Amino acid sequence: MTEREATILAQQKWREMALWEQWVVATMVAEVLGIGAIALAATFLPTVEASRLREALVASIGVVYGAILGVAQWLVLRRRIPHSEGWILATVGGSLVAWVVGVLVSVLLALTYFGETDYRGSVLPAIALLGAWIGLVLGFAQWTVLRRVYQRATLWVGANVIAWAVGLPIAFIGAGLTQQATSTLKSTLIGVLTGVASGTMIGVITGTALVWLLRSRSPRP
């Protein structure tokens, strides 16, 4: 390997590491803000009497979360992936579908394990499956953008399935801990740490897939 080739390789690795770090941070920040938005909406939800308005509020949580995640990730992608304009819209759409179905599943789980004192341990496998569902929907929605550019973009769907199957149980455990907190400060701190942990895990897995995807560039003609 010549000195010039070694320099080019080193620069490429540096760019990949920079991309990976930015992606992890963006996803982590989005998760913290998203959890905050969910918590804020949850405080208002019991005060809403009209069922239609309550349903609209629940659906809007998915839209807001998707917008936060989509914008954060798009800021990292916009200069690296051609035709990334649809990323935000795709993420919002995927988040809305995943969120609505996730709420329905959560209600079913609550009814199934109603009355059990140690239900969290019992329900974790189901939460992981729910996370896999969220990853499948989000990954597929974002794949519709990536597939226009990269032939191997199917990897992105699988990476999201794994990432969310790991990340959602972390968020679920953290949500349980916030309910046990004895003060607003502790509850807020636990919520932030939960978002950092789950967002970092999701970002690490999907960020690794993103770097691989861009490294093995097989752009469509």
Summarize the confidence of residues 183-190 as an average pLDDT.
86
Q: Which residues of 135-171 are buried (b: 16+ CB within 10 A; e: fewer)?
A: bbbbbbbbbebbbebbeebebbbebbbbbbbbbbbbb
Quote the percentage of the chain above a pLDDT of 90.
45
Do the Cβ atoms of 150 and 217 come closer than 8 Å? yes
Dihedral over Cα of 138, 144, 148, 153: its sign: positive
Question: In the 8-state DSSP scheme, what is residue 221?
Answer: -
pLDDT digits (tens, 9 = 90+) for 138-159: 999 999 999 988 888 999 999 9
- The residue ranking higher by pLDDT, 102 or 91, is 91
Summarize the confidence of residues 205-218 as an average pLDDT.
85
pLDDT digits (tens, 9 = 90+) for 129-138: 999 999 999 9
**Could you give the CA distance from residue 178 to residue 186 in angstroms, rounded to a whole number?**
8
Please report the pLDDT score of residue 126 as a whole number.
85
Average pLDDT of the chain to the nearest whole number? 83
pLDDT digits (tens, 9 = 90+) for 64-78: 999 999 999 999 999
CA distances from 42 to 23, 45, 48, 69, 203 (A): 28, 5, 11, 19, 25
User: ∠ CA(197), CA(201), CA(205), 5° rounding?
Assistant: 170
